[in-house]
Structure formats: structure tokens, C-alpha cells
Amino acid sequence: MSETVTLTKAEKPISYDINIPYVTVSPDLEGNVKYPKYLPSWDKVWFDPLRPFDYEDPALRVQDKSKPNLLVSGTKVTDIQPCMGSIVEGVQLNNLSDAAKDELALLIAERKVVAFPEQDLIDAGPEEQYNFMRHFGKPNYQPISGSMKDYPGFHIIHRDGNADEINRFLEQRTTTTLWHQDVSYEIQPPAYVLLGLLQGPDVGGDTVFAATDAAYKRLSPTFQSFIDGLQAVHSSSRMINHARMTGGLVRKDPVETVHPLVRVHPVTGEKCLFINGEFITKIQGLKEPEFRVLQDFLMQHMITGHDFQARVRWQPRTIVMFDNRSTMHSAVVDYLDDENGAKPRHIFRLCALGEKPVPVGSEAKK
């Protein structure tokens, strides 16, 4: 294991991601927290590299596409945008049968992001939340950021105050948005992701999602044929090195994995851009300037494609689940106070690891 290097305040770089705390929350802020049990902690545990494993997507077990076990009488489904995103009311996730959970996976694969307001699962505790998410895949363990004591599968997103940190961040950056796909560097990245809102500002703090399959379809056939066979290198080294430079706890060595730039979704069969502004370090076969041009183009294509995006506006006790294979996303840190910094926003994330990304062409060989 490598040791961390502690820098002085003046030497420390700006935050890697302004949404995430990398050091212990100040005791004077704990009084503002509605769910103190979910404050980030840094247990000194170590994780070995993820080993390949067999993955069966629960959505592929569904026989009746009408989802009779999930969308029962009295359920209301409201679409956020025509092509993606839905709000489901009248369903309590902690009461779902296994068959209904399979149908939920199919709904997420179809609509890409699904919000469930007023969920009792928010108050059910980490053990029940953890077990619920295990239905959708193997848990991912957090390598650097705040987690929950004894529950390393929980990724804690917490903002409250920290005016100096935010000001330093915005002195160097023009925006707080950080478009990405979660944990794309793993050999088998997350398929399904759950976000649970514990506490948030009255206005602001939305999460924006973009559909990577729709974005792929907008490209010309000539460009599609060029990128279909490209392989990208995903690495967590930048994130790990940043944590070490700032004196944060590191639980895992950097991971570097080669994935297809275009992946085939195992449930929908759609081709999806697998592009990431944070974890991709190069594209095999391209020179550095060529890689930068291609990455910048694809990222701008995704970020500016408002006609294939959905913006989730959080409500108290809301759970959002999304398909990490067919979306990329960014939090919107607009809940800032000029005097005190960020207003309280507290979310937990659970990731269910899925299949090794399927390259274009290999799906036809099965």
C-alpha cells in the first residue's frame, strides 16, 4: 500500500469533485444533518482488485413486458422527457417482490432514469438498502471517498458550507458540473445505480442525465463506423493520486482497464457511447492530439444535447435509480450561499456492478 502525502493548505490542489468530501466533516456541521448515521466516515480497510464474475441482468428474466408485479393498480408513471426519465408514484421499493425488482430493472433499462418520491426505504436503514441493491448486482466498494462505517458499499455525497473550498474551486473552474459514468474504470462497471436523498436544499441541487444511446444515433454512419471499433483506457489513477495529495484515505490501488468506446446494451440491444470526461486517459491507436479532439467532441456532443437529456429535481425522501450503461450524468451545484457556501445536501449512492462492456460486433457472435 502507498502512503498518503499531506500538503499544507496553500499547496493543496482544488477539489477533484466539489460534491464529495475527502476529509472528516467538521463537528460544528453535524447539527445540521437530519441523518447523522449517514455522515461520511473513512474506515481504514483495503480492497484488492475486482475479479471477473458472472453477471445475469435481472431485466433479462422478465417475461411480461407490461410489468404487472411492479406497475400495480394505483401506480402513476409520469415521464420527465419523451425519450428518457420517469417519475413513479404509488410504489414502495422496500415492498417489492423479486419479480417486481426484475421488472424494475427492465423499466430502468427502458427509461434510463427513474425517480421514486417519498420512499420508506430511505428510513429503513443501511442493511435493508444494501440488501435491496444486491438484487441488481455485486456491490462496488469505494476506493477513496467518504463511506458509511461498516458499509463500504455506500458512497456518501455530502455538502454543507465549505465556502473557502468552493471559492477556491471556482477560482480555477468555470462550472461545478462533472459529467461522467460511475466507476467506469472497473473491469465490470456498474449496471444499475441507486441514489437516495437524505437532505437537500429547497431549490437546486438537481442531477442531469444524458442518454448515451440517443447520442450515438445522432452521429453520422461514417463517424459511427469509425468509433465502433475503438478501445478506450479508463483509469482511476487521477482520482487516487488526488486523494493521496490531499491527505485523504485510499482503500485501493489505481485500476486501469480497456473498454470499448461504443458498448452494446445487453437488455435493449442499443449501441451506447461509453465516454467519460474523468476516467478515460487515452484511446488505443490514436495519438494524444487525436484523442483529445475526439474526446472533446464526444463530450460536448453529450453535454450540449439537451434534446436527449433529463433533469431530475429532487424531493425529500426520493430515490433515483439509473442505468449507468446508457447514461452519463452530472450533479448541479447551484445551491450556494455567498456567505456560507453550499446549503446542506446529503445523498447516498449504491452501485450494482454489471457485465463487462460488450463491444460492437461481439453480440452477433453469441
CA distances from residue 248 to 23, 172, 199, 240, 276 in whole angstroms, order as listed: 6, 21, 25, 9, 24
Is residue 39 in some structural domain? no
Q: Which residue has the cell 442493511?
A: 127
Q: Are 234 and 221 in contact (CB under 8 A)?
A: no
Is residue 117 in some structural domain? yes
**pLDDT > 70: what percent of the chain?**
90
Confidence of residue 22 (pLDDT cuts 50, 70, 90): very low
Identify the CATH number of the domain in which residue 129 sits: 3.60.130.10
pLDDT of residue 14: 61
Is residue 349 in some structural domain? yes
Cβ atoms within 10 Å, residue 213: 24
pLDDT of residue 11: 55
Q: If you compute the radius of gyration of the chain from its CA atoms, what whole number of angstroms results?
A: 20
- Among 56-65, 78-87, 197-206, 349-358, the range scoring the smallest mean pLDDT is 197-206
What type of residue is 10?
Answer: A
Q: What is the pLDDT of residues 106-165, one digit of tens each?
A: 999 999 999 999 999 999 999 999 999 999 999 999 888 788 888 989 999 887 777 777
* Residue 20 scores a pLDDT above 70: no
Q: Are 86 and 107 in contact (CB under 8 A)?
A: yes
Q: What is the pLDDT of residues 42-93, one digit of tens each?
A: 888 899 999 999 999 999 999 999 999 999 999 999 999 999 999 999 999 9
Is residue 195 in some structural domain? yes
pLDDT of residue 17: 62
Q: What is the pLDDT of residues 281-334, one digit of tens each?
A: 999 999 999 999 999 999 999 999 999 999 999 998 999 999 999 999 999 988
3-state secondary structure of 207: strand
**DSSP tag of 123:** G
Please give the Cα distance from 244 to 314 (Å, whole number): 33
pLDDT of residue 76: 97
Residue 334 domain boundaries: 57-365
Confidence of residue 207 (pLDDT cuts 50, 70, 90): very high
pLDDT of residue 167: 75
* Mean pLDDT, range 160-172, rounded to an integer: 76
Is residue 356 in some structural domain? yes
Is residue 310 in some structural domain? yes
**DSSP tag of 277:** T
Q: Are 274 and 212 in contact (CB under 8 A)?
A: yes
* Residue 6 scores a pLDDT above 80: no
Q: Are 347 and 248 in contact (CB under 8 A)?
A: no
What type of residue is 46?
Answer: W
Residues contacting 135, CB < 8 A, separation 6+: 58, 98, 101
pLDDT of residue 24: 60
Is residue 19 in some structural domain? no
State the chain's maximal CA–CA distance in angstroms: 60
Q: Are 273 and 251 in contact (CB under 8 A)?
A: no
Number of domains in the chain: 1
Look up residue 198 and give its three cell numbers: 437524505
On average, the pLDDT of the chain sits at 89
> H/E element holding 242?
helix 237-245
Is residue 33 in some structural domain? no
